[in-house]
Amino acid sequence: MAIITYIEAISKGLWEEMERDQSVFLMGEDIGPFGGAFKVTKGFLQHFGEDRVVDTVLAETAILGAATGAAVVGMRPVAEMQFADFVTTGFSQLVNNTASVHYRWHIPCPMVVRLPSGAGIHGGPFHSRNPEAWFFHQPGFKIVAPSTPYDAKGLIKAAIRDNNPVLYLEHKRLYRHIKGEVPETDYIVEIGKGDVKRSGTDISVITYGSMVHMALEAAEVMQNEHGVSVEVVDLRTLMPLDTELIYGSVRRTGKVLVAHEDNITGGIGGEISALITEHCFQSLDAPVKRIGAIDTPTPYSPTLEEFFLPNTKKVITALQDLAAY
């Protein structure tokens, strides 16, 4: 085991898969000599060469279209969007072409799109987006969102080996703030399987990405200061959802908070809430509660951004409301 950061885990996962499989190659803006905007691919060009670490033009449509073409002829491209926000430029390629390849032609489309997402870095409205809900609605994608270095490495390796297009949401605020133990041996985290990060008996928090850490902090406060036992379920995969894990947690606790950083309206928390209501209604002792960002663009001002985003304090308040119901 090695203790490494979240961003190091992603980098190591990419490196190992490129060493393991010659069909894996990287595409993106400034990923070569510069090593990527966040230095995930630092040193890759020197080791793997320019045929496998491809510095692209500033055109997300071209990157995603080329990646799709490479995937359908047997390569395993990993396309990086410098910021997840910029995927909108290539939205048509992904939604109209990539997502429907298997449905239309009955062939694999093994590609990964890395999406550095999320706020909390004072990046303003063009560098802070959480785009998962757009693609959650579109059949044909798998979507993963790791919260820990262990999961980050295991899921990038699993995504590269998968024969479907996988959208890999990596939260920028976690890059160098979160460390954890990661095996130095080969392993994957199975796509479609969530994880109970903390067991509890009174309330379930269903969450993913950066919100997992806020939920764990809030759960600690609720246990120590209020005697309330909170279970924290890390989805890890958003599509397909691990509904068995979700329903099992809800039936154990009877009260549920669904938490995500994305804007509350139209976020995937609404779908999770509907599924819980439909399948676990008899087990509920309170209405399902949701927490997310306010329905505005992400502010640039640190003070406004803090007000805009969900945080540990807001999670605690929501948990207190549920406990008192």
Neighbours of 214 (CB within 10 A): 23
Cα distance between residue 168 and residue 152, in whole Å:
9
Q: What is the mean pLDDT of each run of 10 residues along the chain (325 residues)?
A: 97 98 98 96 97 96 98 98 96 97 97 97 94 97 98 98 98 97 96 98 98 98 97 98 98 98 97 98 98 96 96 98 97
Assess whether 102 carries a catalytic annotation: no
Task: Check residue 290 and give its pLDDT.
Answer: 98
* Helix, strand, coil percent values for the chain (each to nearest 5): 45, 20, 35
CA 190 to chain centre: 14
Please tell me the predicted confidence (pLDDT) of residue 77. 98
Per-residue pLDDT tens digits for 147-170: 999 999 999 999 999 999 999 999
The rounded distance, in Å, linking the Cα atoms of 163 and 108 is: 5
Looking at domain 2-182, what is its CATH homologous superfamily?
Thiamin diphosphate (ThDP)-binding fold, Pyr/PP domains (3.40.50.970)
Report pLDDT for 25. 98
Catalytic option among 122, 127, 137, 213? 127
How far apart are alpha carbons 59 and 238 in whole angstroms?
A: 27
In the prediction, which pLDDT does 169 show?
Answer: 98
Query: Are the C-beta atoms of residues 13 and 153 closer than 8 Å to each other?
Result: yes
Domain 195-324: assigned CATH number: 3.40.50.920
pLDDT, position 266: 96
Cβ contacts of 259 within 8 Å, gap of 6 or more: 205, 206, 207, 211, 214, 215, 269, 290, 291, 292, 310, 315, 318
- CA dist 207 and 18 (Å) reads 31
pTM of structure: 0.97
d(Cα 210, Cα 264) in Å, to the nearest integer?
Answer: 15
- Cα angle 244, 249, 251; round to 5: 95
What pLDDT does residue 93 have?
A: 96
Whole-number pLDDT of residue 218: 98
pLDDT digits (tens, 9 = 90+) for 72-116: 999 999 999 999 999 999 999 999 999 999 999 999 999 999 999
Per domain, the residue ranges of the chain are 2-182, 195-324
Cα→Cα distances 202→28, 227, 287, Å: 45, 10, 14
